[in-house]
Amino acid sequence: MSEQTYCPYCAESILKAAKKCKHCGEFLDPSLRTEHHVATQKSNYSPGLAAVLSLLIPGAGQMYGGYVGTGIFLLVLTFFGYMLFILPGLGLHIYAVFTAYSTPPKIKP
């Protein structure tokens, strides 16, 4: 009885108990592959970039994080805030930058 099997992705010999192939790096358990994919998606998001985007264009950081409706709403609201009077627009602009930095991104399925 052999303790070895073959990786279905690269056909190299690996241990039967292996959860990840040491040759190609693929996860052998589909549930681990999904968890790894979600973790990789999260690591690509940058809160600093979201804040800079919202500083340049109010609501752009929210759109970058996946909250498109909220981003458009903040963009329109900030525009009208600046048109009516500078202070409401500036307050909304600062709010957009702060929430873009502090809100975690939506995870896409």
Q: What is the pLDDT of residues 13-63, one digit of tens each?
A: 888 888 888 888 888 877 776 655 555 555 678 899 999 999 999 999 999
Would you say residue 108 has pLDDT above 60?
A: no
> What confidence score (pLDDT) does residue 106 get?
82
Q: What is the pLDDT of residues 70-89, one digit of tens each?
A: 999 999 999 998 998 888 88
Please give the Cα distance from 2 to 47 (Å, whole number).
Answer: 49
Phi-psi region of 3 (alpha: psi -120 to 50; beta: other; left: phi over 0): alpha
Please give the Cα distance from 106 to 66 (Å, whole number).
Answer: 5
